Structure 1
Amino acid sequence: MIGGETMPSHADLDRQIEHLMECKPLSEAEVKTLCEQARTILVEEWNVQPVKCPVTVCGDIHGQFHDLIELFRIGGNAPDTNYLFMGDYVDRGYYSVETVTLLVALKVHYRDRITILRGNHESRQITQV
């Protein structure tokens, strides 16, 4: 259990990630659960993180979901490839929600292979409507 929530099985996470890779939304309940799990993981991590090498470094996705999928096609899927995402996942592109939801699901499933950092676009001042 994490934060009072039961962790989904690997099969559940695999299904959710497969769904998200097709740019299909998860249910609100699934997204809330993923966010709670990610929060628990991220709160436990230090501000300075060790990153396993080799690593593919990615930055400034800005909601460009299809570019993210192309990145995985070229670089390899997790957990076969270690990824360091440098922030700025949202804003500008049409698929900010889909982009950040996929990255959160990958972090929850492959916490030691996916490192996500907060960029300036993940702040309330930038994304507030």
Structure 2
Amino acid sequence: MTDIPVVLYACIHNGGRSLAAKVLTEHYGAGRVEARSAGSEPGESLNPLVVQVLHERGLSTEGERPKLLTTDGVAEADVVVTMGCGETCPIFPGKRYEDWELDDPKGQDLDTVRRIVDEVDAHVRRLLGELGAD
């Protein structure tokens, strides 16, 4: 067990919003928080426009791939952030849950995806501040 909080970001396909949140958390948290991501129905690949926007910010998505949201993954997390998959996420008493209402970047144009990633960025920074990991 570690002293740092574990944050799990969960969305549907785990290739857009939750991916961006994980990468941004790793960047800003710089080892003060462990970020994980998963999807209730993981896709086959990452959203290429989300990857592009993260790369524009100098952030790598190397080694990332969509992963299945599991009960064990939720149980291991200190904070669970859902983004459109709230009803499929297992609930454990005493665990902190947040639901971030964000548009799905799937099928959106580049400017819209940039806006969505900006919104994810703001939520991540706020959460890290609350966790004392900023």
Q: Which has the higher helix share?
A: 1
TM-score by length of 1: 0.26
The structure with higher relative contact order (CA 8 Å, sep 6+) is: 2
Q: Which has the higher strand share?
A: 2
